[in-house]
Amino acid sequence: MKKNILLAIFSGLMLWLAWPPMHYTTFFLFFGLVPMLMAVENIIKSNYTRKGAKIFETVFLGFFVWNTLSIYWVYNSLKLVGEVVAVPISLIPYALGPLLMASAFWLYYRFRLITNRSKGLIALVCFWIAYEYLHQTWDLAFPWMTLGNGFAVAHQWVQWYEYTGVYGGTIWIWAVNILVFLLYIGLSEAQAKPTRLKLVTALVLMLVLPLSFSLYTYNTYKEQPDPSNVVVVQPNIDPYGKSGFIPAYEQFQILTHLSDSVGQVNTEFFIWPETALPKVIDEDRIRTDQFFWQAQQFLKRYPNGNLLTGAETSKIFNDRKTNTASPVPGSGQFYDRYNAAVNIENSAQVQFYHKSKLVPGAEELPFGKALSFLTPVFEHLGGAVGSYAGQEEPGVLYSQSGIGAAPVICYESIWGEWVGGAVKKGAQFIAIITNDGWWENTSGKDQHLDYAKLRAIETRRWVARSANTGISAFINQRGDIVQQSKWWVRAALKQNINLNSDITFYVEHGDYLPKTGSFLAILGILFVAVKMRFKRKPVSTLEH
Among residues 496, 18, 433, the alpha carbon closest in space to that of 255 is found at 433
Query: pTM of the entire structure?
Result: 0.92
* Between residues 51 and 373, the one the model is more confident about: 51
DSSP calls for 256-315: HHHHHHH--TTEEEEE--TT-EEEEEEGGGGGGSHHHHHHHHHHTT-TT-EEEEEEEEEE
pLDDT tens for each residue of 409-423: 999 999 999 999 999
Q: By mean pLDDT, which of 95-99, 223-227, 249-253 is the weakest?
A: 249-253
Q: Are 270 and 263 in contact (CB under 8 A)?
A: yes
Which helix (H) or strand (E) covers residue 404, if one does? strand 404-409
Share of the chain above pLDDT 90, in %: 75
The number of residues making up the chain comes to: 544
Measure the CA–CA gap between 60 and 12, rounded to whole angstroms: 10
pLDDT tens for each residue of 366-406: 776 665 544 444 433 333 444 789 999 999 999 999 999 99
Q: Are 397 and 351 in contact (CB under 8 A)?
A: yes
pLDDT tens for each residue of 105-119: 999 999 999 999 999
Measure the CA–CA gap between 25 and 41, rounded to whole angstroms: 26
Measure the CA–CA gap between 66 and 86, rounded to whole angstroms: 20
The per-residue pLDDT for 461 is: 98
The per-residue pLDDT for 227 is: 97
Q: Looking at residues 139-145, what average pLDDT do you find?
A: 93
Residue 429, pLDDT > 80, answer: yes
Half-sphere exposure (CA, 13 Å, Cβ side) for 92?
15
The per-residue pLDDT for 539 is: 42
Q: Looking at residues 142-168, what average pLDDT do you find?
A: 97
pLDDT tens for each residue of 54-88: 999 999 999 999 999 999 998 876 665 555 566 77
Q: Compute how many other C-beta atoms are within 10 angstroms of the C-beta atom of residue 376.
A: 10
Residue 283, pLDDT > 90, answer: yes
Q: Are 102 and 56 in contact (CB under 8 A)?
A: yes
Kindly report the average pLDDT of the chain as a whole number: 90
The per-residue pLDDT for 80 is: 57
The per-residue pLDDT for 532 is: 80
List, in order, residues 6 or more apart from 12 with CB less than 8 Å away: 61, 62, 63, 64, 65, 66, 69
